[in-house]
């Protein structure tokens, strides 16, 4: 055996044939260990280099964030920010041997898309929205084994997040005992869903998600350089419409409430049963005529857009709004026929639908959100031919016909952000909203049910498709008065301002009082009657009004006995009826000027003063004739033409454009219209508002879901 190995403790001895120890191997081992130690020292220096680079990056990041939090600390030439420099030099002890470059400017991935960090020192707008920090420092070697170390450099861009509010507005509803928040919200669009189908959603009462989280769950890819307008257009496109169940599932998944997936299926089945068909698609955004889950996002730039996408939105609000969008023009659709016990000759058909769903508003100052807009379409047909016109007055000679297609916007309110993130003496940040609402706006004439329900916005935007006469008054076959042009009644307005903190709601206007629905509807139809008579045009053939009307009055007040007195009694009865109609017209117009002036607007001033004057003249003539009726001896002797001429005498005078005879006819028209139109208001619209919707008119409820103020984020 030429070699022998002996292990003793940790040493290894090597002997040759002569038994001498070989020391060469030990020298090699020591050399290798020395080289290893030297390389380790070099690696330490390299590690130190990377640490220095990371530390410099940390300084740049924190300085940029500090500067973005206080953009008012930017220098006048935007070359410097005292908050950023103070953070780097004082708080983070940045080395004095290094250099620090701080710039204020604009970060915008759209406008500055060609720049790698999307930052420009050019300020778009009145103030900068971002701070850029470049930090450089030398790195001195520790032992010099890694050679000369390079200088390290780091840069960071931090952008301020635009103040952003998430809010909604709805009609103030009558409180229903035992109804859940989701059930209450769905009632606003006419959906009655059994509470058993909604009980699982109570856990979402305080849950919030971000729009970006929802879009991510739906697989919607948002390009990094998209503009605000581009995002609104993308979300409003039909490509981004999703099935209701998919949207509901995306909401609960984003909220971490996967146990509600089965509840979503139950809710969709309940909605299908309520509307009688499968719900439609949910469009995510709004743009022009398209109304979707979110109102148009309002942001000054791409930085503001990022704030909007990261805002906190109520998950429960998203669910109720998604259901409303998916059931648009179906949730409240229905028909009502002529009310029971209506006036003979009256035919009323009514349909109603949600023409715009409610919206969730997201954005800064100027962002808006609207209530669900419900429109009723009413078609009124009335003809007085061969039926009692007023009392015993039949109308073979004088007849009144109505052909009124009417669109009524029941409730439409919009909330607009007026200011954000205001605070007094350390109180919570608030947002202020301006609310503009229109109640019971009415558009009369020239429209069809199809055009009424296919047009969003105000009913005044419905295209006019025909010019059929709305009101026609005839005497002996000749047209005495006619309304041919469509017109709009402005309805009632309730405007106000309210200030809220995040997570609260308020009725706006706060000092507003709930309107009595019956009174409001009655005033509306009083205004409609007024508009019809004040816009009546008189054809050139109107010179023959007085004779047919006088003849009609005479023939339909026949006394039951003969002799000298009966003719005078018949004349007196006819004149009394004429006096009664004009007295009623005068009282109606005087009441109109005080109770419905705001509804009529400029229509009120067209010719009501002339009507009042004409009514006064006619009343004076009738009273004088009544006082001297016994002097009408020719009539008393049985001369029928002289009796009719006496009635005509009462209708003489007036102006060419508004003869007293026409005033007399309009007096009968008012009495004829009030019955059918009051039936429409009391038996159709009032039940719709109170029972189907449960609306309290006059006040809107604005809810501020979340408020994001003065946030900052690293964007590069």
Chunk the chain into consecutive blocks of 10 residues (it has 716) and report each block's average pLDDT, rounded to whole numbers.
Answer: 41 47 67 64 65 86 90 87 90 83 86 83 79 87 59 88 85 61 74 80 84 91 82 85 92 91 91 86 83 84 76 89 82 56 69 83 89 84 61 56 86 88 82 86 88 84 86 73 80 82 82 59 78 66 68 72 66 84 82 70 59 78 77 78 85 70 78 74 73 66 86 82
Unique residue bearing structure tokens 């009145």: 126
Structure confidence at residue 35 (pLDDT) = 66
Tokens of residue 110, six digits: 């759209």
3-state secondary structure of 47: helix
pLDDT at 574: 85
Q: Is residue 313 part of a domain?
A: no
Which are the contacts of 346, defined by CB distance < 8 A and separation ≥ 6? 338, 380, 381, 382, 675, 676, 679
Q: Is residue 22 situated within a structural domain?
A: no
Nearest to 133 by CA among 229, 52, 64, 51: 64
Q: How many domains does the chain have?
A: 2
Q: Are strands 164-173 and 208-209 parallel, antiparallel or unpaired?
A: unpaired
Task: Report the pLDDT value the prediction gives residue 302, as an integer from 0 to 100.
Answer: 66
Rounded distance between C-alpha atoms, residue 368 and residue 421, angstroms:
17
Q: How many C-beta atoms surround the C-beta of residue 181 within 10 A?
A: 16
Q: Give the CA count within 13 Å in the CB-facing half-sphere of 287.
A: 15
Taking the CA atoms of the chain, what radius of gyration do you get in angstroms? Answer: 41
Picking from 483, 200, 171, 481, the residue whose alpha carbon sits closest to that of residue 356 is: 171
Closest of 433, 416, 164 to residue 300, by C-alpha:
164
Q: Which domain holds residue 123?
A: 44-161
Q: Distance of alpha carbon 386 from its chain centroid, rounded?
A: 48
Output the pLDDT for position 555: 78
Pairing type for strands 164-173 and 695-708 reads antiparallel
How far is residue 42's CA from residue 39's CA, in Å, rounded to a whole number?
A: 5
User: Which residue bears the tokens 């590690």?
Assistant: 47
- Per-residue confidence (pLDDT) for residue 492, from 0 to 100: 72
Does any domain span residue 509? no
What is the pLDDT, as a whole number, of residue 12?
44
Outline where 292-418 has alpha helix (H): 302-309, 315-326
Residue 142 domain flag: yes
Specify the residue for token string 């410099």.
56
Contacts of 612 (CB under 8 A, 6+ apart): 586, 589, 590
Residue 213 resides in a domain: no
Q: Which of 161, 179, 207 is at the close of a domain?
A: 161
Q: Does residue 713 belong to any structural domain of this protein?
A: no
Domain membership of residue 154 (yes or no) is: yes
Last residue of a domain, one of 127, 145, 161: 161
The residue written with tokens 């709305």 in the block is 470
185 within some domain: no
Domain endpoint, select from 132, 161, 190 = 161
């Amino acid at each position: 055996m030429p070699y022998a190995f002996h292990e003793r403790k940790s040493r290894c001895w090597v002997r040759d044939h002569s038994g001498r120890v070989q020391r060469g191997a030990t020298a090699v081992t020591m050399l290798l260990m020395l080289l290893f130690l030297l390389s380790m020292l070099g690696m330490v220096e390299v590690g130190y280099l990377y640490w220095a680079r990371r530390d410099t990056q940390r300084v740049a990041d924190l300085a940029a964030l500090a500067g973005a939090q206080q953009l008012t600390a930017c220098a006048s030439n935007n070359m410097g920010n005292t908050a950023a420099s103070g953070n780097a030099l004082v708080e983070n002890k940045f080395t004095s041997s290094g250099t620090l470059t701080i710039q204020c400017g604009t970060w915008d991935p759209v406008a500055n898309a060609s720049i790698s960090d999307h930052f420009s020192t050019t300020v778009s707008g009145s103030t900068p929205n971002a701070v850029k920090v470049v930090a450089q420092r030398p790195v001195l070697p520790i032992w010099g084994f890694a050679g000369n170390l390079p200088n390290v450099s780091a840069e960071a861009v931090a952008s301020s997040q635009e103040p952003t509010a998430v809010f909604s507005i709805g009609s103030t509803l009558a409180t229903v005992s035992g109804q859940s928040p989701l059930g209450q919200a769905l009632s606003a669009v006419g959906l009655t869903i059994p509470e058993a189908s909604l009980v699982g959603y109570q856990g979402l009462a305080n849950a919030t998600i971000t729009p970006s989280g929802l879009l991510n769950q739906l697989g919607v890819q948002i390009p990094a350089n998209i503009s605000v307008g581009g995002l609104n257009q993308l979300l409003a496109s039909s490509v981004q419409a999703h099935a209701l169940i998919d949207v509901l599932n995306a909401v609960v998944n984003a909220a971490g409430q996967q146990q509600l997936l089965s509840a979503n299926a139950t809710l969709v089945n309940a909605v299908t049963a309520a509307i009688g068909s499968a719900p439609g698609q949910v469009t995510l955004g709004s743009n022009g005529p398209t109304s979707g889950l979110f109102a148009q996002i309002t942001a000054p730039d791409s930085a503001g857009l990022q704030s909007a996408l990261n805002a906190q939105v109520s998950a429960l609000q998203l669910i109720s709004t998604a259901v409303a969008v998916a059931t648009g023009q179906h949730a409240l659709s229905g028909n009502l026929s002529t009310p029971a016990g209506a006036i003979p000759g009256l035919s009323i058909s009514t349909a109603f639908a949600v023409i715009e769903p409610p919206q969730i508003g997201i954005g800064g100052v100027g962002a808006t959100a609207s209530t669900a807009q419900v429109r009723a379409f009413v078609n009124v047909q009335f003809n007085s031919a061969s039926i009692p016109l007023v009392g015993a007055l039949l109308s073979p000679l004088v007849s009144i016909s109505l052909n009124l297609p009417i669109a009524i916007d029941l409730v439409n309110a919009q909330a607009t952000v007026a200011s954000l993130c205001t605070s007094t003496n350390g109180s919570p940040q608030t947002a202020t909203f301006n609310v503009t609402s229109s109640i019971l706006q009415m558009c009369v004439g020239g429209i069809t049910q199809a055009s009424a329900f296919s047009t969003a916005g105000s009913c005044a935007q419905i295209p006019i498709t025909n010019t059929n006469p709305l009101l026609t008054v005839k005497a002996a076959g000749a047209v005495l008065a006619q309304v041919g042009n469509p017109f709009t009644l402005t309805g009632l307005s309730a405007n106000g301002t309210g200030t809220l903190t995040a997570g609260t709601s308020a009725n706006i206007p706060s000092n507003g009082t709930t309107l009595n629905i019956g009174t409001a509807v009655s005033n509306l139809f009083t205004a409609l009657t007024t508009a019809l008579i004040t816009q009546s045009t008189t054809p050139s053939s109107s010179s023959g009004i007085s004779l047919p009307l006088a003849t009609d009055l005479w023939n339909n007040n026949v006394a039951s006995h003969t002799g000298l007195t009966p003719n005078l009694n018949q004349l007196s009865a006819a004149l009394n009826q004429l006096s009664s109609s004009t007295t009623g017209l005068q009282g109606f117009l005087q009441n109109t000027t005080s109770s419905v002036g705001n509804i009529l607007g400029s229509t009120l001033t067209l010719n009501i003063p002339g009507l009042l004057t004409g009514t006064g003249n006619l009343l004076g003539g009738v009273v004088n004739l009544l006082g001297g009726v016994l002097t009408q001896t020719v009539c008393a002797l049985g001369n029928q033409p002289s009796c009719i001429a006496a009635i005509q005498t009462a209708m003489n005078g007036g102006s060419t454009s508004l003869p007293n005879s026409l005033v007399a006819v309009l007096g009968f028209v008012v009495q004829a219209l009030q019955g059918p139109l009051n039936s429409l208001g009391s038996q159709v619209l009032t039940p719709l508002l109170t029972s189907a919707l449960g609306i309290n008119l006059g006040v809107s409820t604005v809810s501020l879901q979340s408020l994001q103020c003065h946030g900052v984020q690293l964007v590069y």
